Structure 1
Amino acid sequence: MTVYRILARGLPALAVLAAACAPPAPVQEGPPPAQAPAPAAAPARQDVQLPLKYQARPTVPEITPGDLMSRLYVLADDSMMGRQAGHRGNVMGTDYIAAEFRRMGLEPGGENGTFFQTIPLVVKGIAPGVSLSAAGQALTPWTDFSPLPPLGNTFPFGAEFRAQNTPVVFGGQLGGEMITDAQAAGKVVVLLPPTGDNGQPNGRWWPGYPRTRFPRAAAVAVAASDITVPAVLTLGQGESAELEEPGAQAPTGPAGMTITRAAAERMMGAPLAGMRPGTQGRTVTGSFRFGSRRPDAPARNVVAILRGTDPTLRAQYVGISAHNDHEGIADQALDHDSLIAFNTVMRPQGANDRPGAPSAAQRERIQGMLDSLRALRPARRDSIYNGADDDGSGTVALLEIAERMASSPNRPRRSVIFLSHTAEEAGLLGSEWFSDHPTVPRDSIVTVLNMDMVGHGRASEVARGGPYSIQMIGSRRLSTELGDLIDALNARRATPMQIDYTWDAPGHPANRYCRSDHFMYARHGIPITYLSLGYHPHYHMLTDEAQYIDYEHSARVAGFVHDIALEVANRDRRPTVNGPRQDPNAPCRQ
């Protein structure tokens, strides 16, 4: 499931827990070899776990916990390097998925007779060589000043900064008295941050506003680094992935940066206190540039088709989807068990939570948990976002469903299209591309059942969790008939799934309807259902590994999705669309 990258990476509070750690375990070169005993049931507690490494065994036609475990230990192995879209690890992961589809005898559903659909991914970020000096005195990047990235197509400013003895002018205070755009033309404009209700400088300001206010400036520098949150200061250091947009407007206009008050006074040559807007400063020289490049490796959707048996209905498709990518490799290694202890206490929903520093009581709980873990095993440093649950669990469930359907003598009337999307974590880019450029007619897709994070549903980890829990979103938004069909099917099961619809509420603050691949089909009017087991302390964390998955529960979810897909595939007519349809290019609304 997609999350803002900054939430997944910032863990400064862990520093208080860091202990002497053993070197990282050796990276395995390739998938584990076959042959191993059947897996035990997954543990309910984090201090008891399945093995860190597991040798996979051959799969069987039925959907089983053992098969899911064998598959996931391959897909979420360290050798896959976190499967980040546009990197070699994701290519390895998609090669594995395609090989499994091929082994099952499914038809290739990608481009040019293959299982793959390559999406036009580009990576955007800042180029090497960031520099800035004031009156010949160098300023330090990311300490004295921090470049801000371009603002995109809506406000296409700030892709490049080039200054050679460029004059500096004091522009005033944001929200207060400021100079005109004419006075700012061709200059670097230094601004003070706005003042809050308490009369103190306020670091909460939109980085785009100063650039739209002074479009003819060479650059706009807000003296707010001392009070601005670190997430803003480091925006320019990260990379983002986007779909290439031919003909998109090139970013122009003033560059943006945050600077410290000391750097601002160095640029002005005088204290800022009492300075009048329009005061002339020194000159600056420097440069930085944001640009785009091709990724290191292709980003690929994997698509396979099980052809239906009905001469008419086989031209229609029931879609089953999951995403194959995750977050890759972290900038720094952290102690695995310290992270578990901290997140269990402070981040019960993983990256969704923004904890402060632990209280004394919380610190004691964290340390007690860490001591218990240390008694069981040595320290292990970890830097790979394995993505076992997000969304390795959905991917291996997809493979299990495909193998069961492909091996059954009773094939469905409609065709089933298995969609393994890439670049979900980069902003649903793989599903956006496929839904805009489908390899089958878009209107032939009668529904899409999307699985994302179906590996953790224990009551100890997830609110309203339990052995038969399932969270469902969107099943009635476009087709009440689809939602009714699922509920009726569930009622007929020997042990019904306990469906939690609370996350589907309009306006729910978690915004889950907009955060996984199903939305890219819903925006085109295709009925969808999003199935998940929910958030937990491992969500978008380095600890999202295969040994913590509840394979019994995952198998129940996969069996449920399998049955829903067959129910839709064998009906005489497709689910009726009777819900409101949106403009496909409009923003998503929970």
Structure 2
Amino acid sequence: MNTKLLFTLICVAISFLSLAQKKEMQTITESDLKAHLEFIASDNLQGRDFFTEAPGLNITADYLKAQCAKMGLKPGVEGYFQKFELEAVTPDPDQTVMRLKDGSGNVSYETKNIFSLGGPAKNDTVIGDVVFAGFGWYNEDTKYNDTKDLDLKDKIVLVMTRTLEQSKEGAEPEMETEMKKMSRAMMGGAKAIVLVSDPMNPNPEYIESIRKYATGGSLTLKGAKSSLIIPIRLIFGTEELADKMLEASGKTLAGLQKEILESESPKSFSVNDLTAEVKLIKSNETVEGKNVVAVIEGSDPVLKNECIVFTSHYDHLGIDGEGGIYNGADDNGTGTVAMLEIAEAFQSMKRKPKRSIVFAWVTGEEKGLLGSDYYSQNPIFPMENTLADINLDMVGRSAEKELEVIDSESKSLAGPNGMYIVSGKQSTELMKISDEVCEDLGLVPSDELTKAFLTRSDYYHFYKNGVPILGLSTGLHEDYHKITDEIEKIDFHKMKRVTQYAFSVAYKVANQNKRLVVDKPVQ
């Protein structure tokens, strides 16, 4: 065969593949995305969480299974359900109590208006002397240090939210800041932190959002090799409780805060003749988790043993204390139904891609990336044969216009053409393919969320195993983790384009003759 003829045949083959890709991509439609999402994000599913009155999470799993069967997708595991056991720990607020005792052991104050994070899974009682540590903060630049010369060992430490600088500015509280305080206290040997809103900047909505999360209970993989349980207890209390803890010193929390801000220096001290006793009562049970896993087998007899994995989490936050439903239309109804459309596009192809495609709708993301953790330990294809993970999490919203400057700290909502791609950039080749597809579809990619979000969604368990990742999102918005995350706010045109992008990238990677090159190891 002469060179000219060979070149012509290669061009025809490439053209045929491109036309096939574009033809199948057209099966991804706004109307289908909306139809699926109207079910997934409906009130009837009660927020797709564990422990709701209606079994919305299981109903969603059944719906996904039924759609896979209807499309004729091969089960990734028997019956499509990859089942695993979870350990559930739920606090009992009616029996949780904090008591303050004087030097003679007499109870001077008692309250049930507390809740906690961290600590062991079983019932727990914490007893310790009390110290006040201001904001509990250490500033590496100014060397301001609330815990300098303060003995924290075996103590219960009273601190305010925020930092000196944040309090002065009236800045929004950040859980990351409070976690750093907790880490420092833990290294100092403290038993617990009692965290109270700083009086100048009370933020009841922030505290209430944490309360809903904390009192909703926690889940961990049963028999997990590593535990996410935090050894120190983080106890959230009220200003009234703080003033009672400080009463013997003749101080109030508001007064101490004023002193700190005016002097810009710590006012920390041990509270004499005061012991705090905290009883944290919890219930324990075993519950079942279900990943929904389906496979489209590759057409090449050798390359079909390699795969591209699509992931998205189908769980959400359930119901709030007032009966409001977290329907999670964007988080993550959009990613869930986008994968259904991607699966349909691949399944409609007469000739399937050379490599296999795995679809894993995972559960328990909101509880700590649990379903994807289990899948990573029990993959359908070995991790070394998994070429990439494409994860879709919140892919259905748009700001009115494109952002001039992307703020990685605020995780701003992308504009009509914008899309965030979280990636460890292990594969230059994969990123080049991604850029080419974005250009074809008129999408503007940004990696500004990578640093802040690399461990925050299900792609993380692939990344840590050396699998190149593309974590797709259109950004955060004011409805994130609120009952206002409803279907009426979804930009279905934008969502379709992101879905088509994901299909196109996987199509190209799955049909390459050579394996995707990984040129950067996990850091």
TM-score normalised over the length of structure 1: 0.64
Match of 1:427 among 368, 372, 392: 368
CA-to-aligned-CA distance 1:494-546 (integer Å, 9 cap, x gap)? xx322222525x64xxx233332222212211122222333334333322222
Residue 295 (structure 2) pairs with residue 323 (structure 1): no
Match of 1:500 among 418, 421, 445: 445
Deviation (angstroms), 1:162 = 6.4
State the partner residue of 2:218.
240
State the partner residue of 1:66.
31
Deviation (angstroms), 1:238 = 4.8
- SS of residue in 1 equivalent to 2:361: strand
Contact 2:41 2:486 in 1 (8 A): yes
Identity of aligned residues (%): 28
State the partner residue of 1:579.
520
State the partner residue of 2:58.
91
- SS of residue in 2 equivalent to 1:120: strand
State the partner residue of 1:332.
322
Residue 482 (structure 2) pairs with residue 482 (structure 1): no
Contact 1:86 1:299 in 2 (8 A): no
Q: Return the structure number with greater helix share.
A: 2
Match of 1:80 among 28, 35, 45: 45
Task: Please show how residues 167-182 of structure 1 align to structure 2 within 5 Å.
Answer: 169=129, 171=131, 175=147, 178=150
Contact 1:159 1:251 in 2 (8 A): no
Match of 2:83 among 118, 123, 133: 118
Contact 2:119 2:230 in 1 (8 A): no
State the partner residue of 2:76.
109
Unaligned runs of 5+ in 2: 1-24, 134-145, 252-266, 404-412
Match of 1:470 among 402, 411, 419: 419
User: What letter matches 2:70 in structure 1?
Assistant: R
Distance 2:156 2:194 in 1: 8
Task: Please show how residues 535-550 of structure 1 align to structure 2 within 5 Å.
Answer: 535-550=476-491
Deviation (angstroms), 1:272 = 4.2
Distance 1:223 1:320 in 2: 40
Contact 1:170 1:268 in 2 (8 A): no
Contact 1:159 1:252 in 2 (8 A): no
Contact 2:438 2:444 in 1 (8 A): no
**Structure-2 change in CA distance of 1:280 and 1:256 (3 Å):** farther
Distance 1:539 1:242 in 2: 24
Distance 1:246 1:160 in 2: 21
Task: Please show how residues 268-283 of structure 1 align to structure 2 within 5 Å.
Answer: 270-272=248-250, 277=270, 279-281=272-274
Deviation (angstroms), 1:434 = 0.8
Contact 2:125 2:277 in 1 (8 A): no
**Structure-2 change in CA distance of 1:523 and 1:189 (3 Å):** closer
Contact 2:306 2:381 in 1 (8 A): no
Deviation (angstroms), 1:435 = 1.3
Distance 1:327 1:449 in 2: 23
Deviation (angstroms), 1:417 = 0.7
State the partner residue of 1:565.
506
- SS of residue in 2 equivalent to 1:122: strand
Deviation (angstroms), 1:70 = 1.3
Distance 1:519 1:115 in 2: 23
Deviation (angstroms), 1:246 = 4.8
User: What letter matches 2:470 in structure 1?
Assistant: T
Worse-matched range after superposition: 531-540 or 394-403: 531-540
Alpha-carbon RMSD across the aligned residues, in angstroms, is 4.1
Residue 106 (structure 2) pairs with residue 140 (structure 1): no
Unaligned runs of 5+ in 1: 1-59, 334-382, 583-590
User: What letter matches 1:498 in structure 2?
Assistant: L
Alignment length (residue pairs): 440
Contact 1:61 1:403 in 2 (8 A): no
TM-score normalised over the length of structure 2: 0.71
**Structure-2 change in CA distance of 1:460 and 1:489 (3 Å):** closer
Match of 2:302 among 304, 312, 324: 312
CA-to-aligned-CA distance 1:113-166 (integer Å, 9 cap, x gap)? 121112433333423412344424552222xxx3543357xxx9x961167xxx
Distance 2:476 2:159 in 1: 40
Deviation (angstroms), 1:96 = 0.3
User: What letter matches 1:418 in structure 2?
Assistant: F
User: What letter matches 1:392 in structure 2?
Assistant: G
Contact 2:152 2:185 in 1 (8 A): no
